[in-house]
Structure 1
């Protein structure tokens, strides 16, 4: 089976790389990143390596070919040297080389970080930020001194590779020097690698000017939006990127007039990772490199093409990690999503099928219908993720179920009758769609959180989900597909999650943190509650008998028709409310027990008047009481520390007379 999976994924990777090996048109190379300019040339990163081209564009020439990636090139003040971040020796370090190319020289030696990746939200370590204008020193951001990955330090190193010196600020992100190097403009927080859009929280960047001589600090943006990538130009103006207009655009700040102006007005894609020279600045936009003339403040794209062998795009056989693996209903095949395609693979015999074969689209979250006929999945073939189904054997075309998506869809789940799909989205809705009619029904909308946990009942009539509320504990809710009603299955006293229906549909199981066993400290008078979560169950009908009702082995009397010795009395296995009432006839009363009285157990269920039930089905409710919310739940574990102790046998056995015993038993059993 393991070798089979390797074959599936290597086949998928081979197929996708074949499609990717086709070169983009010569004048339309995209994904050009982290540009820098000396007003004569532009250096940028493409496919993890550095390339250079003239400011008028053309065919780019490769500068690096080392292992790992080379990123964030920055020209020296005279434009003759190029500092950058690379991984020649394993670690991510700062290097310098001649601007036209040459052997790189390593300048920094730092510890390896656990989180040091270009795709990480913190970004890589030791990112080159800028050069000083009056000295051959390079300033970079380092994260290896702090255990907190949110904190970066601004360090400076010269071309001799001396010990780095920290700038006199406690932390920092992107930074730039004033023309005379007496001041810096910098971000105190760094969020440039995050994918949050239009963020307005406490981690939003501002741009601050710090006087290296006096220590004076000034906030020059003071805006709730993201303001980052400061660039101090020779004209003494500070250029930067801001999200205050929705899309990230270029702005300029005049320190003398203390005025800010907008320079670009993009509405489609953001301005990313700009860098400045003496006469112009360059930046990313829509995968291309654009150049803005500082004198005219006009921008234009730079026509750049890459003509290389691009060995990384050649077809290869490689092991890749699947994004999802789910079995067919009979377990004879599995449906796999890997590298954006949907595959099915046999357990033992038969072909591996690539059902989608769409290198230009991304498919994910595939699942098999319970009747085994169809595969459901999400695809962005239209530009947005929509819901599709297709025959599982690859014999037919896909059917698009949803249209006009305005948000991110996720986690489609088939109903057990294979007639509907249930899915969630980033608008925090839970919805179903009828496969035949394509009718969409809103199950729930949560204004506070995305709904991530949900389940179908075996008869496809009920949907249970975890409902989280801001400032309160999560609870389980149930939706009835027949009448559209919603029932609270749990109250808000205890956190509940992970709902699931029993196979017979009579019970709703869920996890809940309601087990309170404090553990006290040996050194301080503090306590903590650990392992609070257990599995609990709620009956979906009042007629459902408890699986935890008390049982008792009773002695049968020969010749009286009673149960054989040692058998279980069937009346004792019923619900407490269904147990037979003790007879007043002495002849039918059980004999008094002899010997030691059995001790009460600690795991008996609650009394009959507190049996937890919830009735989400329409047939179980009256119009006057559409909902039934239980006040407690039985634990499905072997024992519960909160369960009430059962009454001892002497407190319930019939005595001399037929009058019922008092509710409270004596403090000690009678002597026998």
Structure 2
């Protein structure tokens, strides 16, 4: 089987790109699906830089905060969250630069997670009003999953359950749940609030819990052409990358073994055959 490739973007990745100027708080790095470009947040704006290194190019320039960039599958567009109008809304910008387009206008915070496989929709989490017969009320502790066209327009709900960091592949949606307002950056927490990985089958309308570790399991992505799922877990002590196969019973496979510093961000680039660390 072709070895899957995990691109690790750990907390101290900035030392690789900006060793000379040494800026701090480079956050939310994301590698383009074609493996050529990294987008990240610095000082409240988005920047891009070649994956091989070089000068960073400022992509957005606004007094507001902009974060959580997400690449389209064809590497031509980037969706991101911005609070330039008060709360976090979903925006879209060409990867090579250009005019940003606002896609959502709701009064609650909304965060992008993925694009549809045809790149025509942005998948995001938010807090919108449910049907009157829904037992769940909108709460920032219980985000729901939505989609909106890259051209803007009407927002449609995908899931009414708390689903964060959702990724789509064929008829499946993989995500981690959210049980309350637990800080996503907290380390080594073991409680009823710890996140778990779930898989939703849109064709059969069924949910499957994939992890039951008492600590944190989060940020899942499809790997091995959708046959496996890789994710971050503290099962090994610090956050490391683990992999499991939904169709196979048994324990997960630990892919990295960092002990002191946790893995915070990572991407899967299936066509590559080396592991890059930042």
Q: Which residue of 2 aligns with 1:326?
A: none
Secondary structure of 1:109 counterpart: coil
**Does residue 28 of structure 2 align to residue 34 of structure 1?**
yes
For the 8 Å contact 2:146–2:159, the answer to whether it is kept is no
Q: Which residue of 1 aligns with 2:13?
A: none
Shift of 1:274: 3.1
The 1:147/1:25 distance shift into structure 2, 3 A limit, reads same
After TM superposition, the score normalised by the length of structure 2 is 0.82
The 1:234/1:166 distance shift into structure 2, 3 A limit, reads farther
Q: Which has the larger radius of gyration?
A: 1
**Does residue 75 of structure 2 align to residue 83 of structure 1?**
no
Q: Which residue of 1 aligns with 2:164?
A: 173
Query: 2 CA distance for matches of 1:204 and 1:158?
Result: 32
Partner deviation per Cα, 1:464-506 (whole Å, 9 max, x = no partner): xxxxxxxxxxxxxxxxxxxxxxxxxxxxxxxxxxxxxxxxxxx
Partner deviation per Cα, 1:581-608 (whole Å, 9 max, x = no partner): xxxxxxxxxxxxxxxxxxxxxxxxxxxx
Secondary structure of 1:235 counterpart: helix
Q: Which residue of 2 aligns with 1:340?
A: none
Secondary structure of 1:59 counterpart: coil
Q: Which residue of 2 aligns with 1:203?
A: 193
The structure richer in strand per residue is: 2
Alignment partner of 2:116 out of 112, 129, 132? 132
The 1:258/1:34 distance shift into structure 2, 3 A limit, reads farther
Partner deviation per Cα, 1:382-426 (whole Å, 9 max, x = no partner): xxxxxxxxxxxxxxxxxxxxxxxxxxxxxxxxxxxxxxxxxxxxx
Q: Which residue of 2 aligns with 1:160?
A: 151
Structure 2 gaps, min length 5: 1-17, 130-136
RMSD, matched Cα = 2.2
Shift of 1:25: 4.9
For the 8 Å contact 1:36–1:276, the answer to whether it is kept is no
For the 8 Å contact 1:67–1:87, the answer to whether it is kept is no
Q: Which residue of 2 aligns with 1:265?
A: 257
After TM superposition, the score normalised by the length of structure 1 is 0.35
Q: Which residue of 2 aligns with 1:282?
A: none
Q: Which residue of 2 aligns with 1:213?
A: 203
Query: 1 CA distance for matches of 2:256 and 2:264?
Result: 12
The 1:90/1:196 distance shift into structure 2, 3 A limit, reads closer
For the 8 Å contact 1:35–1:42, the answer to whether it is kept is yes
Partner deviation per Cα, 1:621-647 (whole Å, 9 max, x = no partner): xxxxxxxxxxxxxxxxxxxxxxxxxxx
Shift of 1:169: 3.7
Secondary structure of 2:29 counterpart: strand
By relative contact order (CA 8 Å, sep 6+), the higher-ranking structure is 2
Structure 1 gaps, min length 5: 1-23, 114-124, 280-292, 302-672
Partner deviation per Cα, 1:536-593 (whole Å, 9 max, x = no partner): xxxxxxxxxxxxxxxxxxxxxxxxxxxxxxxxxxxxxxxxxxxxxxxxxxxxxxxxxx
For the 8 Å contact 1:34–1:274, the answer to whether it is kept is no
Partner deviation per Cα, 1:336-395 (whole Å, 9 max, x = no partner): xxxxxxxxxxxxxxxxxxxxxxxxxxxxxxxxxxxxxxxxxxxxxxxxxxxxxxxxxxxx
Aligned length: 249
